[in-house]
Amino acid sequence: MMTQDASADPALERRAAALLDQMAVVILNHNGRAHLGPCLEALLAADGLAGPEAIVVADNGSRDGSLDWLADRHPRLRRIAFRSNLGFAAGNNAAAEWVDAPWLLFLNNDTRVRPDAPRQLALAAAGGADAVGARLLSWDGSRLDFDGGAASFTGHGHALGYGRPVPAGPPPPPQPSLFCSGAALLVRRETFLALGGFAPDYFAYYEDLDLGWRMQLAGLTLRQVPAARVEHRHHGSAGQLPSGRAARLYERNALATVLRNYDTPNLARVLPAALALAACRAGAADRAAAQGLIDAAASGIEDGPGGLPLPRADWRGWPMLADLALDFAALARGREAVQALRARSDAEILPLLGRPYAAVPASRAAEAALRRAVARFELEPIFGPLPDADRPAQGPREAGRLVRRAAGALRQGGARWLVEEARGYLRWRRGSHG
């Protein structure tokens, strides 16, 4: 299959060129001066952008001299300075309110666009999509970092293709995707703001999954664009968060995504199951303990704030979730706003999850707990039959992939990048965003 060829459609080429003229690139930065140089150099050399004035760097309270460096090296770029770190979600939302452009390209500071990436995104958007996302590659360009978004039924996001070699030959045309990575996301500004932007309470992690799911729910169109290639230092900027806080955000935001986006009948089964599995990850000492937590959660569901279906107040899993500080009253209010957007049924959306039964983390114990939860909460009518449990072990394949990623990180950036790659992998094991 061939990529979208504008030369065969002059009208599409004209629409894409007009869209590029109407595009602002929003780069959120927090203590990322080391990343900004390669990011901006590649962006300024890209095809079709309106010029330096189309680039906006929104600084999230950096203390590493990022703003001074920008003023000295790139004085024509527009800058926004926030007094504190608002997080990825609220920081990008504030920048979107400030920028007056019909289209916004949200771009991580730890990325490096290929010259034709903005044009390829514009072509896909001009073809009728409400939001489009780039194919993310490893920093050396040899492996995939994100090639489409999938999710577990528990609300954990998965980057399709992560760690695999970049396929040979021409990339395929734009593809439907549950969500696009917020690291390189082009979206119509009016649509983004009307939907409420990224969920500000998320701070970071899975805000792109939640936005994509919400767009699907509202009847909008998202496309993953393999021809738009962007190199990405995996967890380069996200690696600044302490691992404990990152793990809590992964768990809390996954549960919030479940709570906000499922319809009411499905939520009655999925939310208690997701809470039970989160408690297992937080405090179950062994498989027997995990099964006990799941069975106890399934034995009695009661109405919580806003009518949310929750395990009973005396469920022994609640203390294990205390660190997540779940405010169910606030979450219920957020759910009401999201559900008011609904123009598409769960039956239409849920096939896009792609990996509903992916265990988090990717371990045999987690898979055993997931299977127990699927059975006890009767989830197969929602997501389809569970795959065969007796499939070949993935250990050797995963080990080889990790060795290749580690070697690439060491070769490209030395010991510091190797440490960042290791930290990113540990966060992935906890939250499975990859």
What is the model's pLDDT at position 389? 76
Domain boundaries, the chain: 9-240, 262-383
Average pLDDT, the chain: 90
Q: pLDDT band for position 2 (50/70/90)?
A: very low
What is the model's pLDDT at position 430? 44
What is the model's pLDDT at position 431? 44
Decide: 368 and 361 in contact? Cβ < 8 Å: no
Q: pLDDT band for position 426 (50/70/90)?
A: low
What is the model's pLDDT at position 422? 59
Task: Evaluate if residue 293 carries a pLDDT over 60.
Answer: yes
Phi and psi torsions of 25, nearest 5°: -95, 120
Q: Classify domain 9-240 by CATH number.
A: 3.90.550.60
Tell me the mean pLDDT in the region 210-215: 99
Check: pTM over 0.85? Answer yes or no: yes
Tell me the mean pLDDT in the region 128-143: 98
User: What is the C-alpha end-to-end distance of the chain, expressed in Å?
Assistant: 26
The rounded distance, in Å, linking the Cα atoms of 139 and 411 is 11
β pairing state of 78-82 and 55-60: parallel
Tell me the mean pLDDT in the region 300-322: 97
Tokens of 159: 């980057």
What is the model's pLDDT at position 243? 77
Task: Evaluate if residue 433 carries a pLDDT over 60.
Answer: no
Task: Evaluate if residue 416 carries a pLDDT over 60.
Answer: no
Q: Quick one: how far is CA 292 from the chain centroid? A: 32
Query: Which H/E stretch holds residue 108?
Result: strand 103-108
Task: Evaluate if residue 397 carries a pLDDT over 50.
Answer: no
**pLDDT tens track for 155-201:** 999 999 999 999 999 999 999 999 999 999 999 999 999 999 999 99
What is the model's pLDDT at position 285? 86
Task: Evaluate if residue 348 carries a pLDDT over 70.
Answer: yes
Backbone region of residue 47 per phi and psi (left: phi > 0; alpha: psi in -120 to 50; beta: other values): beta
Tell me the mean pLDDT in the region 20-39: 96
